[in-house]
Structure 1
Amino acid sequence: MNLIIPMAGKGKRLRPHTLTTPKPLIPIAGKPIVQRLVEDIAEVAPETIKKIGFVIGDFEDEVKDQLREIAKEVGAEAHFFVQETAEGTAHAIACANEILEGKVTVAFSDTLFRADFKLNPDDDGIIWTKRVDDPSAFGVVKTNEDGIITDFIEKPSTFVSDQAIIGIYYFKKGEDLRDEINHLIENNIRAGGEFQLTMALENMKAKGTNFTVGTVNEWLDCGNKAITVESNSRYLGFLKGQNLISSEAKLENCEIKEPVFIGAGSELSNSIIGPNVSIGKNCKVSDSKISESLIQNNTTLTGVELTNSMIGNFVNLEGNPKSVSLGDYSEW
């Protein structure tokens, strides 16, 4: 099975953090978003992932090396495809045309999930969904009594279904998806000015592909600061009970309210940490109280009381702000 992960977006809603770090490499519970996604896909896939196609922007070699390691950890080979212009979801997938063959899963990089099912590789196609209270902001699907998808509806103004498409798809024949996407692009068939994946799915359905629904238990978004902090908290909740504090971290006179992740090399003293806090590698935290927050690497926090905060790398923060979003190398 091959896996394609479109991740070329600029992550504008998550600035300033994405000015220096591509959004898929922002850590959630101590691991980059894209690594969490790859591991979770590998968990529900009954077959080994052979190739991972990362559809990227103008990323540095250091980022590519990190993505190679992420692929290697699940036994896969990394391939890189550059999306030079953003022209829609189908266009992003088309960039990875050369590995759109055989069994293929497509997963957009800002989607995390929890599921208790195993993907059935014999299905023609699977569209992963989550039931939502307000489907008007999402693409949704309708199904018949046999669980086969009958309609794809983008952001319905009146209620037709509460099964929202979360951005993960499985195709038994990747070639069929490739052909339909190429047809859209070659004939400049757009919706809203872009080449849309749902149009390719509709064409495949019309030609006999039976799409079923894979319903996830949890769907976590990482679109902006507040949602990313919340997703970090919820993912830590999934891991509660596991030892998330590195043996290479040093804690002195600290109260830890689980779940909390603390990375290697970090030193904490005279502080109350948690619940739902991630602290990356080589951080120094003293005389502080922190809850519901995501702190990246090499950051120093002194005498702070934080909640609902997201702090980048190499930040130096001293004082008493309550809720902040600080990018890399910030001083306060």
Structure 2
Amino acid sequence: MLKAVILIGGPQKGTRFRPLSFEVPKPLFPVAGVPMIQHHIEACAQVPGMQEILLIGFYQPDEALTRFLEAAQQEFNLPIRYLQEFAPLGTGGGLYHFRDQILAGGPEAFFVLNADVCSDFPLGAMLEAHRRQPRPFLLLGTTANRTQSLNYGCIVENPETHEVLHYVEKPSTFVSDIINCGIYLFSPEALKPLRDVFQRNQQDQQLDGSSGSWPGAGTIRLEQDVFTALSGQGQIYVHLTDGIWSQIKSAGSALYASRLYLNRYQLTHPERLAQLIPGGPCIRGNVFIHPTAKVASSAVLGPNVSIGEGVTIGEGVRLRESIVLHGATLQEHTCVLHSIVGWGSIVGRWARVEGTPNDPNPNDPWARMDSESLFRDGKLLPAITILGCRVRIPAEVLILNSIVLPHKELSRSFTNQIIL
């Protein structure tokens, strides 16, 4: 018997995802046509012996989250429950706080997945590796280039046994080009080191004279408090993958993750990819079109396009490397490139909405998405264009490398600006 835990965080996280995270919890943002964490749930549901999937975070259980959980339970025929933290408890605090629910029924092991990663989720291969060599902690690792590895948790392994000898979270100098993917397989005994950290936190609070044990003592960082401390003690191992993987920290990385998932649909969900049909729009590359969307026959779509529920695409529209969200309208002959068009937004005739891609270096097989900053030297960096919820773009204007906050009605062109 197996279980899975998906760590979804909470509203104080995902600031780099604004203004999109104003409208839905980040884990429910559509990536390649389905909510971000549906990719995680689909992968977990395919593992033989999976009995339950738990979501842990500190979002309020709103209508959108409740509807998603109900639909997911029906679709995958699995219990899927949300366990709400009373405060942000870090990447390990929620696991310890809800340990009784995780261990109920006596699972042999449980997967732990961060919600903000895109992956092909080689959970079956991880399970095989764990059963060959049972240990408390198994981490999924992949390779990054030397420079970008500094932005991740770095793993030094024994190349023969794959034991983690050393772990450093975001080191200041090069440690290893093997990075932590944020996908784990834990044995039940993995919760004992979390208990030790909790008890140590409690003792530290008492020595400091702090009152109460929560939430301070309950805040546990898996990476710094557990992986770093236990490395080299025969408890943590790494399983390496060369499959797709990326963090989803910003809107730009969501667009890149959409491309990875759309490409993977050719193997996993070919029915989700739009087909070129007589009298239909021109499809180039991988495109997702929701069945309720209305797309004019003269539109040209793709590659890497995701069109959401109830979207209207007018005649002559050119759409490429973009996500168009629920209820948006692109009027005749608009051009949308490297952009995200928010829920219910309207782009007027002959308007151009364009961003600048920030993709990994195609000539470097180990390059990853940069964790881009919005500003450098006080200037807004060129990046993808984001239209928030219910934005109106007038006809015949250019919106380039800009972020438009929700409910704005523009009257002219903008370049490299945040429009408040």
TM range (shorter): 0.7 to 0.9
Instruction: Map 1:43-82; keep pairs closer than 5 Å.
Output: 43=46, 45-82=47-84
Separation of aligned partners in 2, 1:33 and 1:184: 35
1:106 aligns with 112
The Cα of 1:184 is off from its aligned counterpart by: 4.7
1:142 aligns with 156
1:309 aligns with 339
Letter in 2 for 1:221: Q
Instruction: Map 1:236-251; keep pairs closer than 5 Å.
Output: 236-240=262-266, 242-245=270-273
1:162 aligns with 177
The Cα of 1:263 is off from its aligned counterpart by: 0.3
Give 1:90's match in structure 2, choosing from 92, 105, 109: 92
Give 1:179's match in structure 2, choosing from 176, 195, 219: 195
Instruction: Map 1:243-282; keep pairs closer than 5 Å.
Output: 243-245=271-273, 254-269=281-296, 270-282=298-310
Contact 2:320–2:336, Cα closer than 8 Å, also in 1:
yes
Contact 1:91–1:181, Cα closer than 8 Å, also in 2:
no
Number of aligned residue pairs: give it.
Answer: 328
The Cα of 1:181 is off from its aligned counterpart by: 4.8
The Cα of 1:75 is off from its aligned counterpart by: 3.5
Separation of aligned partners in 1, 2:250 and 2:324: 15
Query: For residues 115 and 105 of structure 1, do their structure 2 counterparts lie closer, same or farther at Cα, with a shift above 3 Å needed?
Result: closer
Separation of aligned partners in 1, 2:245 and 2:203: 35
Secondary structure of 1:34 counterpart: helix
1:14 aligns with 17
Secondary structure of 1:50 counterpart: strand
Matched, 1:119 2:127: yes
Contact 1:254–1:272, Cα closer than 8 Å, also in 2:
yes
Query: For residues 63 and 53 of structure 1, do their structure 2 counterparts lie closer, same or farther at Cα, with a shift above 3 Å needed?
Result: closer
The Cα of 1:273 is off from its aligned counterpart by: 0.5
Which one has the largest radius of gyration? 2
The Cα of 1:77 is off from its aligned counterpart by: 1.5
The Cα of 1:197 is off from its aligned counterpart by: 0.7
Query: For residues 227 and 62 of structure 1, do their structure 2 counterparts lie closer, same or farther at Cα, with a shift above 3 Å needed?
Result: closer
The Cα of 1:330 is off from its aligned counterpart by: 1.9
Separation of aligned partners in 2, 1:251 and 1:311: 28
Unpaired runs of 5+ residues, structure 1, are none
Q: Which of the pair has the greater relative contact order for Cα pairs under 8 Å at 6+ separation?
A: 1
1:331 aligns with 392
Unpaired runs of 5+ residues, structure 2, are 206-214, 356-384, 394-420
Letter in 2 for 1:119: L
TM-score, normalised to structure 2's length? 0.71
